[in-house]
Amino acid sequence: MDDLINMQGQGHVRLGSSAGQALTRRDGRLKVTGAATYAADNRPDGLLHAVLATAGIAKGRVAHLDVAAAEAHSGVVKVYTPGNAPKLAISPDEKIHPFVWRMETLTDDRVRYAGQPIALVLAETLEAATEGARLLAPRYGAEPHRVTLDDAEPFDTDTTAFGRPAAHSSGDVDSAREGAALHVQTTVETAPQYHNALEPHAITARWDGARLEIDTPNQAIGLSKQTFAAFLGIDPSQILLRSPFIGGGFGSKAILYGGQLLAVLAARDLDRPVKLVLRRDQMYGPVGHRAPTRQSLRVDLDETGTIAALEHDTVTLTSTFDQFLEAASNASHSLYAAPNLRTAHHGRRADVGTPGPMRAPGEAPGSAALEIAMDAAAQAAGMDPLEFRLKNYAESDPSTGLVFSSKALRECYAEAAKRFGWSGRPDAPRSLREGRLLKGWGMGTAQFPCPMFQATAHATLRADGTAVIETSAADMGQGAWTALAQIAADGLGIDLDKVEFRSGHSDLPDAGVAGGSGHTATAGTALFNAGADAVRQLAELATTDPASPLFGAGNAGVTARAGRLWRNDDERSESYEDILARAGLELVRGEGKGAREGEPERAMFAHGAVFAEVLVDPDLGQVRVSRLIGAFAAGRIINPRLARSQLVGGMIWGIGMALQEEAVHDPRTGRLTNADLAGYHVPVNADVPMIEAMTVHEDDPYVNALGIKGVGEIGVTGTVGAIGNAVWHATGVQPKRFPIHPESLI
């Protein structure tokens, strides 16, 4: 493996700094030995097992449930249906913050999509609850359904995901198009995808009088505590939400869903702890998905191959009762220098569960379509795809006019192209072979914004020179606990092995949302600031104490390193222990915040370039990715090992999106035909070639004080288009749809 690790130019690695070191995961041993506890591993005394019954039709109403049969089954304690389910304190449609979807809590007998919860069975054992749910044998009054983009109901909307504007226009696209020499029009569709975390959505809920303890995997611990409190009508201080580890989230665990609230309501109603774990098939519907898109792009060029106008239009689906629109067109806002730019989104409603954020929401399908369009444009201009992108990538964000806070994209293109050997690429499709297989080379540009959420943290320096740092973050496999601890150690100016990291539950300061690839930047900033605040207090003690060698140096005249404060003006230093001992203090405690203040004055993005090689069987249309190389500029890399893992993981996700991942509806029943890991294909080892993810040095002083960007999602972007373009180059067939089906190539 080691020879595949090719991380370059790690900025900011300095003596005594934890950040920048390729440490292994602090929780790795716990996880591989099974010692890490996930929500469903909790077994409080008196536990009841809950199993959801879910709808087998896509639209209509539940006409009959055989509750008597279920309740008569040995071990079954209670059956909740819309007739007797405990009620929420507020409307299930209340939007108390942008991460709230309708709480589907058995509010009525309507069926709005296949897989919707229609009853909850509580029993002494999982087996009894499962059998009880089966015995309900629902009968339905079915109504005609619509589940695809083609038959869904159009509606007008001003907003896409998280309330962002649905449309944007700058310049004059129509006039520019009229004056342009070359015109390219492409259409790309992307399939619905479902988050397939290894750990299903699960919850264990236990009431102790008015106090509620919840174990549930969650990407937004603080926010979710607020959400539970609001819908239950209790004070947030009464709730302890634990989420130390998440077995894969990908966005679906940033949102709370009705099932989790139902389990809590049942526990309160029955005065016993309740555990609910969704079955694999139940994760295809009630807990979000990535909606399908149909994207039309028009690129207009002058005779030199310079983009004159760019238009990106997306049609996508949401449910009949809630709204989340995949903001795919936004991918065109900021990557290529289009002086005239128009983007739009059109919503359609279908009888499906509400979509939600899924790794690189918007950007993943949007970038896939945009990169295909860019290759089409390059062909029209008679240019090499890389040459075309180098000519047309934006130096400032065309949608806002803001200058990029940093733009190391040219270096990404150069590094990845060199490593790949792109310069020898023949322009003509079907000109490379490997034995009887067609070989193709393609590329795509990667880009992802750098949002920050709101986080708080505490850092406590103790008399023995050790420290405790606290923030509520979960570790969902990405290595948050490791990277955040590295940043915290630097903030405190001590070695990482002296730091005790407390995290994973809601009684700690809120680490914000682990989403949008903004977690390390947000929570890391809070932790760093908390450490700096503690050090500031130490410096104040020492520099004002005549007995200290630091006396008179002033707060700004000392530097923290290796558990000591050092004078900047001579060699003298004093240990944290000595400063605290002389002051007679057990500890000092610092507090820190992480957030972006005010309106950004720069456009903040991470960038990258991905190059793919594919081999295509000319007779069977089977595609294999044989090489995948990406170079990314993602700001300061806190931990090269973990960053590489995230980037490679994103690129593998891109392989799945390009060639495999697809939820297929049966048009007759409105149900998914492949709601399991056998039928819903994701890449396995045999599908994954040698992958290289490099990072290029990027020092971005604007994105945040620590220069941190995200690495969790950007690997998906660029990759899908790169693979699609490689298939196009191999076969001469332009991809119109992802995943690419073999039959479309023969």
Residues contributing to the site for ligand MOS (CB under 6 A): 219, 249-251, 254, 357-359, 361, 515-516
CB of 710 to ligand MOS, least distance (A): 9
Whether residue 349 contacts residue 155, with contact meaning beta carbons closer than 8 Å, is answered with yes
Give the residue with the Cβ less far from ligand MOS, 363 or 470: 363
Give the residue with the Cβ less far from ligand MOS, 42 or 219: 219
Give the residue with the Cβ less far from ligand MOS, 246 or 378: 246
Rounded-to-integer distance, Cα 353 and Cα 327, Å:
18
Place of tokens 């170079």: 631
CB of 231 to ligand MOS, least distance (A): 21
Give the residue with the Cβ less far from ligand MOS, 244 or 398: 244
Give the residue with the Cβ less far from ligand MOS, 357 or 440: 357
Q: Which backbone phi and psi does 496 adopt, to 5 degrees?
A: -60, -35
Q: Which of 552, 550, 557 is nearest to 575 (CA)?
A: 550
564-567, strands of its sheet edge to edge:
558-561, 564-567, 573-575
Tokens of 605: 């993005």
Widest pairwise Cα distance in the chain: 85
CB of 358 to ligand MOS, least distance (A): 5
CB of 246 to ligand MOS, least distance (A): 10
* Alpha helix (H) residue ranges in 421-518: 480-492
CB of 652 to ligand MOS, least distance (A): 16
Tokens of 663: 């939820």
Rounded-to-integer distance, Cα 332 and Cα 447, Å:
10
Rounded-to-integer distance, Cα 631 and Cα 442, Å:
14
Give the residue with the Cβ less far from ligand MOS, 213 or 510: 510
Give the residue with the Cβ less far from ligand MOS, 254 or 526: 254
Place of tokens 């090489």: 627
Whether residue 435 contacts residue 467, with contact meaning beta carbons closer than 8 Å, is answered with no
Handedness of CA 634, 635, 639, 641 (dihedral sign): positive
713 catalytic? Reply is yes
Q: Is the peptide bond before 739 cis (omega within 30 degrees of 0)?
A: yes
Neighbour-count burial for 370-379, b at 16+ CB within 10 Å, e otherwise = bbbbbbbbbb
What DSSP character marks residue 387? Answer: H
Using CB positions, name the residue nearest to ligand MOS: 251
Q: Which backbone phi and psi does 448 adopt, to 5 degrees?
A: -150, 140
**Residues 6 or more apart from 238 whose CB is under 8 A from it?**
210, 211, 212, 229
Rounded-to-integer distance, Cα 721 and Cα 331, Å:
12
**Residues 6 or more apart from 556 whose CB is under 8 A from it?**
none
CB of 159 to ligand MOS, least distance (A): 18
* Alpha helix (H) residue ranges in 57-139: 67-72, 126-135
Give the residue with the Cβ less far from ligand MOS, 449 or 724: 449
The beta strands (E) that lie in 103-199 are given as 110-111, 117-123, 139-142, 153-155, 168-170, 182-190
Whether residue 59 contacts residue 124, with contact meaning beta carbons closer than 8 Å, is answered with no
Catalytic pick among 500, 597, 713, 743: 713
Rounded-to-integer distance, Cα 329 and Cα 297, Å:
9
Rounded-to-integer distance, Cα 130 and Cα 113, Å:
21
Rounded-to-integer distance, Cα 676 and Cα 655, Å:
19
Rounded-to-integer distance, Cα 244 and Cα 221, Å:
10
Give the residue with the Cβ less far from ligand MOS, 118 or 513: 513
Give the residue with the Cβ less far from ligand MOS, 212 or 651: 651
Rounded-to-integer distance, Cα 692 and Cα 623, Å:
20
Q: Is 349 left (phi over 0), alpha (psi -120 to 50) or beta?
A: beta
Rounded-to-integer distance, Cα 370 and Cα 261, Å:
40
Rounded-to-integer distance, Cα 222 and Cα 723, Å:
39
CB of 418 to ligand MOS, least distance (A): 31
Beta-strand relationship, 110-111 and 168-170: unpaired
CB of 361 to ligand MOS, least distance (A): 5
Give the residue with the Cβ less far from ligand MOS, 358 or 623: 358
CB of 515 to ligand MOS, least distance (A): 3
What is the CA 147 to chain-centroid distance, rounded?
Answer: 25
What DSSP character marks residue 173? Answer: H
What DSSP character marks residue 25? Answer: P
CB of 333 to ligand MOS, least distance (A): 18
Tokens of 343: 């983007």
CB of 634 to ligand MOS, least distance (A): 15
CB of 513 to ligand MOS, least distance (A): 8
CB of 470 to ligand MOS, least distance (A): 23
Give the residue with the Cβ less far from ligand MOS, 254 or 614: 254
Rounded-to-integer distance, Cα 574 and Cα 563, Å:
9
Give the residue with the Cβ less far from ligand MOS, 476 or 496: 476
What DSSP character marks residue 326? Answer: -
Rounded-to-integer distance, Cα 310 and Cα 399, Å:
11
Provide the annotated active-site residues. 713
